[in-house]
Chain A
Amino acid sequence: MSAAVSPGPTTPDAERVAAPDAPVRRRSVRTAERRWGLILAAPATLHTLLWIGVPIIVAIVLSFTAYDIIHAPEFAGLENYATIFTDGLFWRSVLHNAIIAGVGIPISMFLALVFAVMLNRAIPGQGIFRVMVFLPHITATVAVAMIWLWIYNPSENGLMNVVLGVVGIGPLPFLTNPDLALASVILVTIWQGIGLKMLIYLAALQGVDGQLYEAADLDGANFVQKFFHVTVPMLRPATFFILITALIANFQTFDLIYILTEGGPANSTSVVTYRIYQTAFQEFRVGLANAQSVILLLILIVLAFLSRKIVGGTDGD
C-alpha cells in the first residue's frame, strides 16, 4: 500500500517520518531501544539460562550416565531410558498424576469458577470470603499436609471420622488403605487448588465487557444462558492459563505426597516427582532419576500442546 493512495491524517509522527533525516534518526532510536531492551532483559535472561537452562542441560547429559552420587558418572547410552520403559512403578506414578489431574483439576476449576462468579458480586463480607478461599493456596504445603494428616487420622478421633461417625460410617483408614488413599490425596489437592484458580478467574471476570451482558439481556438471555454463552467463552484465555499451570503444578506435586503418604500404601499414591526422588536419593540411581525427569519434561510439553489444542489457547485475548 503506498502513501499516495492513502495519505491518512497528518500527525507529528507523520511529519517526522516525512523529514529528510528521518531514516537515520529512526535507526538510531531503534538501536538505542534495542540496546536498552537487551540490558533490561539481561537479568531475567541470565537467570533463566543459569537456573533453568543449565540444570535442564545437565539433567539431559546425566540421563545418559550411570551415576550413584558417590562414584564418577559412566556413560550408559540409552540404558536409563530402556529401564524406564520397563519400570512399572514409574508408569503407575504417571498414571496417578493423570488421575489426580483428571479428577482434581476439573473439579477445582469448576468450584473456583463458581466461587469467582459468586464473589465477583457485591455481597457483605466479600473480602473475607475471598481471603478464606485463597488462604489454602498461600499456606505452606507442609502445614496443609499436617492439618490433613490430623483430619484423616484413622482412629475415631480424626476429624473426618468424627463427622462420618455422626452418620454411622467409619472409622475409615483414609491414608493407609490403598483403595482410599489416592482419593484422599485428590481431595486435598482440590481444596488447596481452588484459591489461586478463583483469583485468576476473578481477575478475568473484571475484564469481561459489561456491554456483552447488556446485549444478552436485550436478547432475553437468563442467568444460566449468560453464564454459558458470555462468561465462559470470555474466560477462555484464563481457563487455558489455569489449566496449563494446574497441569504443571500437578506433575510437580511432591511435598504433599512426601508428608501425607510417602507414596504408599502399596505405592497407591506414588507420583512422578516422588518416584524420581526415590530413585535418586533412596536408590542412589541419579542417572536414571535424570532420565525420568527428562521424560517428565516431555510429558509436560505434550500436555501443554494438547491443552492449547483443546481449550484454544490465548488467541483472541
Chain B
Amino acid sequence: MSFSRRTLLGTTGAAAVGLGAAACGSGGALDPDVPLDLAVDDTDLAGSISLLTPDFVGDDRPVLDQEVIAPFTERTGIDVSVDQVDWNKLNEKISTGIAGGIIADLIMTGVGWTQPFAEKGIFAEIPADYIEGLGFDESVLAPARFEGKYYSLPQALDLRFLAYHPEMFAAKGITEPPTSMDELAEVALELTGDGVVGFDYLSGSAGSARQAFVFLLYAFGGTMFSEDGLSTKLHEEPGRLTLQWMLDRMDDGSIDYDMQAAEGQPSPFQQKKAAMSLVATGNWPTWMQMTPELCEEGAAGVFLMPSGVGGDPVMFQGGTFISVSSLSQNKDAAGAFMKHMLEPEFLGIANAATGKVPPTPDIPENEEIQSSLLTRFGLENLEYAGATEGGTAGYMQIRTNLDGIVEGCLTRRASVEETLADMKSLCDDAISRLR
C-alpha cells in the first residue's frame, strides 16, 4: 500500500477536522433547567464532590477543611475536595475546566458572575422555595438571579465603604466625615500634603480601578445596565461625572494613581500614607495581622460613600456566591454541601475566617465577627449595599476589558468622551452576541 503526498495531507486534514469536531462536542450534557433537588436526605448520599473556591487562602484554608467540611463529611460520608484559585484566575479556571470536562461540582464566584454562567447553562437552578426559607435580604439575593430564577446563593459579602484616620481629621479641624461628593473632594484636598494623599482610591487594596469606578458610578446615581441587562448605561451622565470626578482628584493631587498597594505589604492607608481610603470588610484580618494598632478602639473611622446627587449614601457589595454545576455527576451531594455551607453556624465560622460578612445577620454569636469594626459597620448598613457589578449575561467579557478602559482614562490615554464611547461599544458588542 502506498501513500501519495496528497493522500497523506488529505487524511491528516480530515483527521484534524474530525478531532476538532470531537473536541468541540465535549463538555457533557448541560441540564440547567432542572432545578436541584434539595429535599434529599443527605445521609442517604455517598461519593465525592469537588469545590472550586477563590476564598479561604492561606491561614483561612484549615478553617474550611476542619471546621466546615469535616463535620459534613463525618455526618454524610461524602468527601469534599477543594480546588483553591485566586480571584483573578477564577474565570479561566472555570472556562478551562469546562473545555477539559473537569468542572467542579460546586463553584464559588462573585457578584456579576451568576448571569453569564447561568446564561451559558453552567449553573444549575436552585429551587425558589428553599431560598425563601433562608430569610436572606432581597438586596443580597438580586445578584443571584437570572431571568427570574436563582442560580447561586451568597455565602459571603465583601462590603466596601470608606475609612479615615480620626487623628488626621482632628489635626485639620475636621469633625465629621463628608456627606456629599463635593465635601469629600474638599476634605481629601485639605488632608493632602506632607507625604500623605487625602484619598487612597486606586491602590488596589480594596478592589480594582474598575470596581472603584463602579462604586462611584452608583454614588453619582448611575447603574451599569438596564433592568433587563440588554443595554448599557455606563456611557450616560453619571458615568461622565464619575470619570471626571476621579480625574479632578488626581489633578489636585488628592488621589495618586501611582500609589499602589504592594503584594504582601500594608496598604497606604495602613501605613498612614493616605488619610482616607476605600476599604473592604475583608481587609480586617490583614489589619489585625500587619497593623493591629489600627484595630484598636477609635484608631480608624468608617463612613459610607456620600451621594453625588443628593440621595442616600452608597455601599459597594462584592461577595462570594456558591453555585452547583449543571455538569456535576453528583448533584444531590453537591446540593447537600451547598445547604451545609449556608447553615448559619457554618456561615459564621467561614466568614469569621475570611473577614467577610455573612449574608444574613441571623448567625450564632461570633466573637471574631463582632470584633471587626468593618464587618459590624457593613452589617449595620446592609440596606445601602446597592452598588454592585454586573447585571447582564455578557458581563464576563465586559469585566475583562473594562479595567483596561477605565485605566486608560485615568492615565490620560483616552479622554472621558472616548472612554464612555469605548465602554458603550464594549457592552453593545458583548450583549449583541448573547444567544
Contacts and interface: CB of A to CB of B under 8 A. Distances in A.
A23 B410 CA distance: 80
Given A57-B17, A58-B19, A266 B413 contact: yes
Given A70-B27, A283-B396, A178 B413 contact: yes
Interface in A17-60: 49, 53-58
B265 to A, nearest CB: 6
A264 B263 contact: no
Interface stretch (A106-114, A151-159, A191-199, A236-244): A151-159
Contact of B24 (A54, A73, A158): A73
A282 B400 contact: yes
Interface stretch (A61-69, A214-222, A291-299): A61-69
Given A58-B23, A62-B20, A264-B404, A49 B92 contact: no
Interface string B81-109: 00000001001100110110000000000
Interface stretch (B8-16, B246-254, B303-311, B331-339): B8-16
Interface residues of B, number: 41
A173 B258 contact: yes
Contact of A70 (B120, B257, B396): B120
A158 to B, nearest CB: 7
B403 A176 contact: no
Interface in A55-95: 55-58, 61-62, 66-73, 89
Nearest to A176: B260
Contacts of A266: 404, 407-408, 410-411, 413
A89 B401 contact: yes
User: Contact residue range for chain A?
Assistant: 35 or more
Contacts of B92: 277, 281-282
Nearest to B414: A266
A52 to B, nearest CB: 11
Contacts of B285: none
Chain A contact residues, majority secondary structure: loop
A161 B88 CA distance: 27
B247 to A, nearest CB: 14
B96 A281 contact: yes
A67 B27 CA distance: 13
A57 B19 CA distance: 10
A149 interface: yes
A68 B120 contact: yes
Nearest to B20: A58
A304 B25 CA distance: 36
A155 B260 CA distance: 8
B363 interface: no
B98, B260, B403, B435: which has the most chain A beta carbons within 10 Å? B260
Contacts of A245: none
A284 interface: yes
Closest 10 CB pairs of A and B: A57-B16, A266-B407, A58-B20, A267-B404, A283-B397, A54-B16, A282-B400, A281-B92, A266-B408, A281-B95
19 contacts: A49-B12, A57-B16, A57-B17, A57-B20, A58-B17, A61-B16, A61-B17, A72-B24, A154-B258, A173-B258, A264-B404, A266-B410, A267-B407, A278-B400, A281-B95, A282-B397, A282-B400, A283-B400, A285-B397
Given A57-B20, A72-B24, 18 more contacts: A49-B12, A54-B16, A55-B16, A57-B13, A58-B17, A66-B433, A70-B30, A70-B120, A154-B260, A155-B265, A176-B258, A178-B407, A179-B411, A266-B407, A270-B404, A278-B400, A283-B397, A284-B120
Interface of B: 12-13, 15-17, 19-20, 23-25, 27, 30, 88, 91-92, 95-96, 98-99, 120-122, 257-258, 260, 262-263, 265, 396-397, 400-401, 403-404, 407-408, 410-411, 413, 433, 435
Interface of A: 49, 53-58, 61-62, 66-73, 89, 149, 153-155, 157-158, 173, 176-179, 262-267, 270, 277-278, 280-285
